Each structure stands twice: as C-alpha cells, then as structure tokens.
Amino acid sequence: MSPVEPALVPAPRTVEEAALGGFPLTPDTPLWAGPGTGTTERWLRSALGPALGLRFPPGTEDTRDGLRLRLDDTLAPEAYRLAVLPGRGVEIAGGGPAGVFWGAQTLRQLLGPDAFRKAPVRPGATRTVPHRIVEDEPRFRWRGLMLDVARHFMPKEGVLRYLDLMAAHKLNVLHFHLTDDQGWRIEIERYPRLTETGSWRARTKLGHRASPLWNDTPHGGHYTQDDIREIVAYAAERHIAVVPEIDVPGHSQAAIAAYPELGNTDVVDTSSLTVWDTWGINPNVLAPTDTTLCFYEGVLEEVLELFPADATGPSAFASSPPSSPSPSFSSFVHIGGDECPKDQWRASDVAQKRIADLGLADEDALQSWFIGHFAGWLAERGRRLIGWDEILQGGLAPGAAVSSWRGYAGGVAAARAGHDVVMCPEQHVYLDHRQDAGPEEPVPIGYVRTLEDVYRFEPVPAELTPEDAGRVLGTQANAWSEVTENQARVDYQVFPRLAALAEVAWSALPAPAERDFAGFERRMAAHYRRLDALGVAYRPPAGPLPWQRRPGVLGRPIDGAPPQR
C-alpha cells in the first residue's frame, strides 16, 4: 500500500498524495451536483451535512472552493475518481450515479469518525479533506449481505439502519430472507392469514435446537406493503438492490400453518400445524399441486409489484463481462429451494401421481419441476430466479442463478453449466458462525471464522476457467438469525467481519495467503471509531464484553478447520 494511503475500508485501488495540506470544509462550502448525481447530493445533504454542520449552499460547475459531483462516461459504472486538489476544492466523478455515491462514501471516511454521527459534536469546527486523488472501482458486481428476518423479526427501522451500514461499506445487494418455517414477514393482501397467523409463533427455542431452554414470549412481526416500498426506495437511494426471498417448497411451515391446503394433507393433518418454534430442517413441505402453484403465483405477483425491476438500468438477464455496464440485480427473486425433505412426497399419493403424470424419475426431479415452474413464470415477466445450490438437482432452467452455500462445489457446477453464481459458502461467510473458540463466545455456532478468515476468503474457485469465472457475479455474507434475537446480537455477529467481506468483494486483493491482514487490522483500528460513531455493537478485537456473552445457552460448535470445497 502507498505510504500516504489513509485508513480506508474497503481499500481503494490507488491513492495518490496530490499536495501537502488539504481542503477545508466549512458550513458555507458550496455543493454543485451535475446531472445524474441527485442521489449523492441528497445523501450529502441528509447525512454528511447534519453530521458535520455543513449547510452546502448551491454552487456552480465552475466552483473551485466547494464540492462538485459529476458523471464521467470514461469510467466504469461503479468506478469513481475523488480528487482533492489545491485551488480546485473537491470533485467526485463517477462512471454512473452509483460510482459518484461510492466516492462520497470515501469522502466521508476521509473526514474522520465524526462524519458518521447524526449531529455535530464539535459545532463550527472546520473539517479538512487531505489533498488526495483516489481512483477506485469494485472487483465484483454483486457485493451483498443476506439478512434473515424470518427466524427473528427485525423491525423496519433496523433494516433501514443496515442499509446505511451496507452503503458505508460499498455493499450493493440486500438479500432479504422474508419467509421460513418460523415466520412469514411480508404482507400479501390477497392472503391475509400469511401475516395474521403466519407471522407469530407462541414461543422460541433459546440457543441451538438441542438446548432445553425456551423463551415463552410470543415472537413475530411483519412488514406492511408500504414498509416494503419504503425499504426498497431507501435502498435505491443508496444504490442497493433488494432481492426478496420467498422460500419454496421447503422451509414453509409458517405458510402451511396459515393455509393448511398448501401442505401434504393426505400424509399429515396440516390443520394442526402451527408456526414452528424451533430450528433445523422441517419435514412439512409444500404439496406439488396446482393449488400450491396458483397460491404462490399470487404471492409472487404482489412481490414483483413491491420489488420492481430497475427499468432504467440494463437487464441482469444475461451474463455480461466486467467491462460492460453493471446489471440491475433488482430483477432477481430468490425462491430458496434448499433443505426440502422428500419423505412426505414419498408417502403422498398426490405427489406420486404428479410424478407419474409428469413422467419424472423421482422426488428430486419433482422438486426440479417445481423450481422450473417458477423460473419460467418469472422469466415470462422479465424477472430472474435465483436459489440456493440445491436447485441444481435435476437440472436448472436457463437464466436462473445460484447462491452457492454448501461450499464451493455448487457454484463450480453452476458456473460450468452456464449459470451465474453468488458465492456464499457457509464454511467461510456465514456470520452466525462463531468468531473464536473461547468459551465466552455467545451461543457458539459452527466453525470458527475469525476476522482474518473472512479477509482471506476467495470467492472465485481456482479450478474455474476464465470464462466460467466470469459467471461469478460476486459474493455475500449471510446473517442467519436463529441465535440473534435483537439488534445488539446481530451487530455482534455481523461486525467487524462484514468489513472484511466488503473488502474481499470490492478491492483488488492478491491471493488469500498473500493478503496484508496486518495492514487491514491497522486500518480497522480507525474503522472501529467509525463503527462506534454509528452505534454498532461489534465484537471487540479482544473478545466479547461481559454483556455480549450468553452463559448457559447451548450452541452447536464444530471443531477443526472447515472444508475448503
């Protein structure tokens, strides 16, 4: 790294010291925003301005004592050039609106941790931006975080907060896990019982499913359709696409509890089912009937209205090389497709008749047919299906994409078969997994994944050819919420590791063994102060604070190093 490089996270491609000193920002520093930069202008006025007491009076394109925003079509869509030069003020140029916005996030970091607060702590202070030229662009187009709000509901304000945290780390995809056995979190007007019944459970398992402990307080909640519209609009202002997940055909007991006809009624008394109160793989799956298909088509019709595809950007329907315009990932809909036990289908005369009528080989092929139905249904509406890597079983429709979670193998197989891939292997980037082997970690789940482990994660498997590697859209971290029951617990599991994942997704890093983790730690020392200003209850480098521990709550630790494939 350059000796003048500031403590930026994620690390930019190049930083050049332009001159000694810097440019002072005062309450009267003007702001000029060129065509196409409105989202960044609004963010500067609503976030950075209040934090530092900057009024940003209107400037002009020729302003040399202020801040200028403009588009530059010689840059890639998400690339930016932040120039702070003597006598020229501050200029952020981006290849597209997103590029300008990411440049503004870098400017914020250059201004120190006070820039991450809600109001000035040093009113009237002059803020100096060092004379620098920062040129930067992301390595991957998909840089994501999955929030599981189905197991433990996250109120709308918490989701908006996480969108701000994502933007601060230049992440651009929120994978929104809205439905599961333990709760249905999105209002569907034509099926009101999905939230009236399906969004609440009577009690909740504390810790891993082997734990004897329970919280007997009913748990639940859901987002109204206006809440969803607000979340999507708030994300769009921050150049973040929201990809909803509606789980089928497994992980569906909450829906079956609300509408028993969706389940395998000839095998189990579905009218007796309730929203599930524990964790694991649930045997109650959707019936492969026309009734079920029609029901979920109705669900998805409302989902598509609430999560509109970006009509102004290029389509995400076909793979595109890194040099081409970045696709809009808002055209994706995630349908789950994982962990679907087939026992009920094997015992169901209805399911077996469907297999025979379709001429299918077995129950795995029946699931492939089920997924394929919705892949085609979405494609007819200009949308694109993405699912967990189990959807590869039995073949996958052209245009569908895969979230590779069980390791690298699913992503490798998908890329080789011509499908786009998001790499999120549980052994590496599941943030519910424990961060240390010590006994003080709260509810220890899975393998130990330290900050350094996440920093050395490589999303592109070495065995892929350059052509197949080009189908790796990017990567995301997954924050499952079985053991994260509130904001402080989510923060502890997600941070600081999400900062490491953000750098993996954004920065042009060397091979994992050659990465400068010591340098990243030095930059994180400054970044922790930013997280403090944002009120993030991260895991401290020295280990959990006393109030972050959960003594006596059983987890599910797995010893040893995780498999690499």
Cα separation, 47 vs 69, whole angstroms = 16
Residue 311 in this model has a pLDDT that exceeds 50: no
Amino acid letter, residue 535: G
DSSP state of 47: I
Q: Is the peptide bond before 544 cis (omega within 30 degrees of 0)?
A: no
Across the chain, how many H-helices and E-strands are there? 18, 22
Give CA angle at 162 (158, 165), nearest 5°: 140
- The contacts of residue 450 (CB under 8 Å, 6+ apart) are 435, 436
- pLDDT confidence band for 126 (50 / 70 / 90): confident
pLDDT of 50 > 50? The answer is yes
Mean pLDDT score, 308-316: 54
Residue 520 amino acid letter? F
pLDDT in tens, 403-451: 999 999 999 999 999 999 999 999 999 999 999 999 999 999 999 999 9
Residue with the larger pLDDT of the pair 541 and 18: 541
Question: Among 207-211, 230-234, 370-374, 487-491, whose mean pLDDT is lowest?
Answer: 207-211
Place of tokens 């969706």: 262
Residue 552 buriedness (CB in 10 A; 0-12 / 13-18 / 19+): exposed
3-state secondary structure of 517: helix
| pLDDT at residue 4, rounded to an integer | 47
Residue 382 backbone zone (phi > 0: left; psi -120 to 50: alpha; other: beta): left
Q: Are 175 and 246 in contact (CB under 8 A)?
A: no
pLDDT of residue 124: 84
Residue 324, pLDDT above cutoff 60: no
Q: Annotated active-site positions, please?
A: 180, 251, 339
> What confidence tens digit (pLDDT) does each residue in 131-150 have?
999 999 999 999 999 999 99
Name the 3-class secondary structure at 58: strand
Of 282-286, 304-308, 325-329, 356-360, the one with minimum mean pLDDT is: 325-329
Q: pTM to 2 decimals?
A: 0.96
